């Protein structure tokens, strides 16, 4: 080979080697072809989720600092150790090139404002006339009600700062974007624990300087893998949605009480739960985010008084004969982005949308045969979405019933709570995050698991729906931080308890069940002279002279506000009579008898053909 050709080949090979080497180095160390000192120093860091890898966004997009130098002091100046808290999310997660607008939405979301918690609490303390209006947890005062919130409730909002490294767990509260999107692998957790337990101690602000030799090399991920564990910390309290969904009911037992016993669960906060029936969706493998859409969880930018106003999804969005749907190309920007990241685009299929806000449920699909199905976001399980059974939608009898009024299997009834302020009790201000002396404490008296109570909810349209309720506050308050008089409140709260079963409750569990009607536990007796009577399980409460687990007295109504919403109420006396009228029929006729099945279609026609032996209630 002539020297000129040999040299040309060598030059060409050298050029190719230099080109690919430079291309690799630029993609590894120069984000968008510009120098990045963070990556230059921390090039051993691994574990990133693809969308947030240093190759794509660098380190400074999240942690700020100065990426234009390799001088450690200059590089770390202004750095944010835990990005994603709402105090910094506008400068980190919410910048124009990343997720613009979302921090502002979250700030207005009900999971950050806690508006409903604040209004109901102030109403219970007689500080406002109605449990409504808009409030923000950051604006809590030092009133009795607000101090009660500060001591016992105020940590459960997304604006609460995450101040420690580590995975989200049962004790986690808040953390902004991290609350849902932060995930630690086993290796990342192990390396972090080794780092935190090293012999060198120091304040968090200068730990990096002191422990750099033991610094973790595996970074946690920020991803769309939002597990039920992320929701559990806040939603295992009060309404107990997370525990209900997984089939755990709260008890008053202690850790010592359950040693060696099965079917109990000890939470990290010391509470003990007993095994109950899982929600049917949990049994099927569905997670929280398989129903709840981003516009609910992160908010839609609007302020809402109560949680149910912010909720977008309804049962019938998935479980209807004909659901509303849109194609991929009709999706809004956010839904399309989620679909793309999840790689769940289907050219020939459509996505179901919510009837309330026309928002796509991006893991539900309608195929060319008009079959509807859901694919769970985390596990990829395919589940067919079936319409309601005919008994749910036919006839006149149950047109006012919500889906969960029949399909909620159980709720936790807490029917006696004493709340007082102890000026000597060491406590914690959950809003200001500081130790205090003088705190509120609550002492529960009874827990039981049973069917929910039924009542009436009025929609904005004026339509009334029979829905599920539970004791929200059957509470006595007699010692205050500030001057106040003794308070007794019997407030029931609307609930969607996330304990759905497939078959639904039977007829007698409503029409012959005093708890369902609102009288409390006990025995309903239909006598031979066609009269109903009620024998309560609990004695009457000294505060209002009805059983302590009751919402209303037997064949009585309540004129004063008796619920935590202004659009809800217990049954009127006339409604109670109608319910028990059917209950009288059920004392003789089986639930599956032909006559009771016909009564569901048209009860008035059935009454025209009754036997002379039938005893009809007399009121």
Q: How confident is the model at residue 10 (pLDDT cuts 50, 70, 90)?
A: low
Of 528 and 584, the structure prediction assigns the larger pLDDT to 584
Contact 27, 19 (CB under 8 A): no
Mean pLDDT to the nearest integer, 204-219: 68
* The pLDDT of residue 29 is above 50: no
403-414 pLDDT, tens digit per residue, is 999 999 999 999
3-state helix, strand, coil in the chain (%, to 5): 35, 20, 50
**Angstrom distance (rounded) from CA 115 to CA 108:** 10
DSSP state of 512: T
**Angstrom distance (rounded) from CA 209 to CA 448:** 53
Instruction: Write phi, then psi, for 230 (nearest 5 degrees).
Output: -65, -35
Q: How confident is the model at residue 3 (pLDDT cuts 50, 70, 90)?
A: low
Contact 176, 240 (CB under 8 A): no
Dihedral (Cα; 303, 306, 307, 310), 10-degree rounding: -40
Of 243 and 51, the structure prediction assigns the larger pLDDT to 243
- Reduced to 3 states (helix: H, G, I; strand: E, B; else coil), residue 440 is strand
Neighbours of 69 (CB within 10 A): 17
Distance, C-alpha 443 to centroid of its chain: 25
**Range 418-448 burial, b when 16+ CB lie within 10 A, else e:** ebebeeeeebebbbeeeeeeebbeeeeeebb
* The pLDDT of residue 397 is above 90: no
- Reduced to 3 states (helix: H, G, I; strand: E, B; else coil), residue 282 is helix
Beta bridge partners of 434: 429
255-312 pLDDT, tens digit per residue, is 999 999 999 999 999 999 999 999 999 999 999 999 999 999 999 999 999 999 999 9
Distance, C-alpha 268 to centroid of its chain: 19
Q: What is the CA radius of gyration of the chain?
A: 30
Three-class secondary structure assignment of 449-480: EECCEEEEEECCCCCEEEEEEEEEEEEEEEEC
DSSP state of 537: S
**Angstrom distance (rounded) from CA 569 to CA 513:** 18
* The pLDDT of residue 550 is above 70: yes
**Angstrom distance (rounded) from CA 229 to CA 493:** 26
Locus of tokens 């007082």: 420
**CA angle, corner 180, sides to 175 and 186, nearest 5?**
95
Distance, C-alpha 173 to centroid of its chain: 13
Beta carbons within 8 Å of 59's beta carbon, 6+ residues apart: 36, 38, 39, 42, 65, 67
**Angstrom distance (rounded) from CA 420 to CA 441:** 6
| Separation in Å, CA 24 to CA 15, 31, 338, 537 | 14, 11, 29, 76
pLDDT of residue 26: 41
Angle between helices 144-152 and 115-124 (to 10 degrees): 130
pLDDT of residue 23: 47
- DSSP labels, 345-370: --TT-BEEB-TTT--B-TTEEE-TT-
- Sketch the domain layout of the chain as residue ranges: 1-79, 320-387, 393-607
pLDDT of residue 14: 64
Q: How confident is the model at residue 349 (pLDDT cuts 50, 70, 90)?
A: very high
Phi-psi category of residue 498: left, alpha or beta, with phi > 0 → left and psi -120 to 50 → alpha = left
Dihedral (Cα; 462, 463, 464, 465), 10-degree rounding: -140
Dihedral (Cα; 502, 506, 511, 514), 10-degree rounding: -80
**Angstrom distance (rounded) from CA 349 to CA 372:** 10
Mean pLDDT to the nearest integer, 469-485: 86
350-366 pLDDT, tens digit per residue, is 999 999 999 999 999 99
Contact 353, 317 (CB under 8 A): yes
Locus of tokens 């006598």: 527
Closest CA to 30 of 19, 16, 40, 20: 40
């Amino acid at each position: 080979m002539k020297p000129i050709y040999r040299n040309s080949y060598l030059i060409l090979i050298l050029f190719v080697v230099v080109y690919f080497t430079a291309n690799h180095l630029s993609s590894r160390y120069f984000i968008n072809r510009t120098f990045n000192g963070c990556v230059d120093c921390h090039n051993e860091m691994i574990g990133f989720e693809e969308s947030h890898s240093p190759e794509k966004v660098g380190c400074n997009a999240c942690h700020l600092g100065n990426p234009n130098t390799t001088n450690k002091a200059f590089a770390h100046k202004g750095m944010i150790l835990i990005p994603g808290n709402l105090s910094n999310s506008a400068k980190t997660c919410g910048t124009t090139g990343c997720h613009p607008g979302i921090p502002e939405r979250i700030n207005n979301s009900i999971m950050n404002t806690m508006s409903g918690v604040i209004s109901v609490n102030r109403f219970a303390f007689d500080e406002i006339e109605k449990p409504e209006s808009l409030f923000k947890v950051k604006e809590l005062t030092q009133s009795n009600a607000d101090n009660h919130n500060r001591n016992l409730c105020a940590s459960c909002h997304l604006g609460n700062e995450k101040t420690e490294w580590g995975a989200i767990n049962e004790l986690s509260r808040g953390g902004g974007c991290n609350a849902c999107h932060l995930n630690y692998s086993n290796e990342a957790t192990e390396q972090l624990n080794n780092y935190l337990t090293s012999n060198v101690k120091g304040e968090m602000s200068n730990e990096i300087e002191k422990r750099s030799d033991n610094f973790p090399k595996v970074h946690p991920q920020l991803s769309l893998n939002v597990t039920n564990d992320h929701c559990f910390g806040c939603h295992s309290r009060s309404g107990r949605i997370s525990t209900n969904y997984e089939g755990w009911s709260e008890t008053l037992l202690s850790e010592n009480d359950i040693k060696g016993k099965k079917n109990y669960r000890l939470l990290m906060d010391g509470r003990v739960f007993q095994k109950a029936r899982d929600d049917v969706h949990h049994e099927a493998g569905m997670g929280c985010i398989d129903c709840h859409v981003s516009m609910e969880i992160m908010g839609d930018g609007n302020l809402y008084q109560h949680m149910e106003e912010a909720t977008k999804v309804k049962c019938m969005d998935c479980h209807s004969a004909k659901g509303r749907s849109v194609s991929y190309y009709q999706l809004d920007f956010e839904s399309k982005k989620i679909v793309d990241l999840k790689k769940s685009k289907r050219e020939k299929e459509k996505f179901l949308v919510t009837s309330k806000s026309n928002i796509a449920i991006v893991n539900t699909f309608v195929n060319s045969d008009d079959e509807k199905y859901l694919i769970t976001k985390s596990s990829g399980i395919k589940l067919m979405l079936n319409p309601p059974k005919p008994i749910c939608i036919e006839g006149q009898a149950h047109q006012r019933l919500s889906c969960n009024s029949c399909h909620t299997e159980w709720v936790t009834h807490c029917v006696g709570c004493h709340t007082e302020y102890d000026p000597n009790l060491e406590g914690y201000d959950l809003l200001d995050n500081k130790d205090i002396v003088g705190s509120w404490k609550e002492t529960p008296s009874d827990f039981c698991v049973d069917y929910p109570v039924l009542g009436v909810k009025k929609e904005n349209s004026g339509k009334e729906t029979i829905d599920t309720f539970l004791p929200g506050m059957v509470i006595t308050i007699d010692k205050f931080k500030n001057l106040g008089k003794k308070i007794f409140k019997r407030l029931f709260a609307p609930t969607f308890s996330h304990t759905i079963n497939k078959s639904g409750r039977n007829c007698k569990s409503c029409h012959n069940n005093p708890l369902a009607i609102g009288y409390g536990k006990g025995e309903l007796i239909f006598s031979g002279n066609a009269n109903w009577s009620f024998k309560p399980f609990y004695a009457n409460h000294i505060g209002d002279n009805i059983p302590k687990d009751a919402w209303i007295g037997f064949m009585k109504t309540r004129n004063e506000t008796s619920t935590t919403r202004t659009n809800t109420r217990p049954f009127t006396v006339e409604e109670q009579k109608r319910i028990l009228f059917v209950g009288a029929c059920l004392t003789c006729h089986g639930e599956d008898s032909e006559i009771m099945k016909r009564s569901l279609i048209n009860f008035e026609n059935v009454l025209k053909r009754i036997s002379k032996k039938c005893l009809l209630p007399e009121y």
